[in-house]
Structure 1
């Protein structure tokens, strides 16, 4: 009886699975990157796009790319939702985004079954901690057969 009660407590006490938070990193695109065009946020002037990076092993990741063409730094954070059922979602850490900078928030790499299409990569950018949230969706990219 004591053993059963202890097992019940262990099951209840386990933390829920949550997406990790990652820092923004440099972006260097190549032919494996499938991206939307940049869209400009109407009030901040920041540009953003989402990308799906797919390699020859059918591994893929979603990336939110932000660019600051303005003359002043901005505070940004965000989220990438990509292949949620495979663990591809991520939160983008709050960062001081310098004038002229370009950076990406990279979701975890996930394996895509052969001849399947990845789900949309949805990127949401939060600017200056306000409610200025801008979402860009990239349509699916086929994996290799």
Structure 2
């Protein structure tokens, strides 16, 4: 799937001919390993720190199994407490557990995988809370 701003436009099934399934779904923060199944918007800097960035990503396989991921990156020097939310109009939604986020890492909060027909589409958004201050991606 490709998306502009916060709109997800479904691509033709032939364009989604990937062999790898989307990453596992869980509300906890996990390592991020992207491949050609991932389509992400650019990182946005969180207002709490220029060293903490976040972005929404959409992961889709050849069967149109799709999930949204809140990806965060920390290049600072001090740990932060993060939490978040993943929202989509097609049901790949979750709340991201509060967790200590150490510098030097990139992590993702994975929403559940749902099937989105190739003729479908929708919108996505993510919210990241850092030390109690929340920012939506938009």
State TM-score, norm by structure 2: 0.76
Gaps in structure 1 of 5+ consecutive residues: 1-20, 138-145
Name the residue aligned to 1:71. Answer: 77
Larger Rg: 1
Corresponding residue pairs, total: 113
Structure 1 CA distance for aligned equivalents of residues 70 and 94 of structure 2: 10
Bigger RCO (CA 8 Å, 6+ sep): 2
Gaps in structure 2 of 5+ consecutive residues: 1-25
1:28-54: per-residue Cα shift (whole Å, max 9, x none)?
A: 011111100011113322100000111
Q: Give 4+ residue runs of structure 1 displaced > 2 Å after superposition.
A: none
**Deviation, structure 1 residue 55:** 0.7
Structure-to-structure mapping, 1:3-18, within 5 angstroms: none
Structure 2 CA distance for aligned equivalents of residues 110 and 43 of structure 1: 32
Does 2:126 correspond to 1:120? no
State TM-score, norm by structure 1: 0.73
Contact kept? 1:122, 1:135, Cα under 8 Å: yes
RMSD: 1.7
Contact kept? 1:78, 1:123, Cα under 8 Å: yes
Larger strand share, 1 or 2: 2
Name the residue aligned to 2:96. Answer: 92
Name the residue aligned to 2:35. Answer: 30
Name the residue aligned to 2:109. Answer: 105
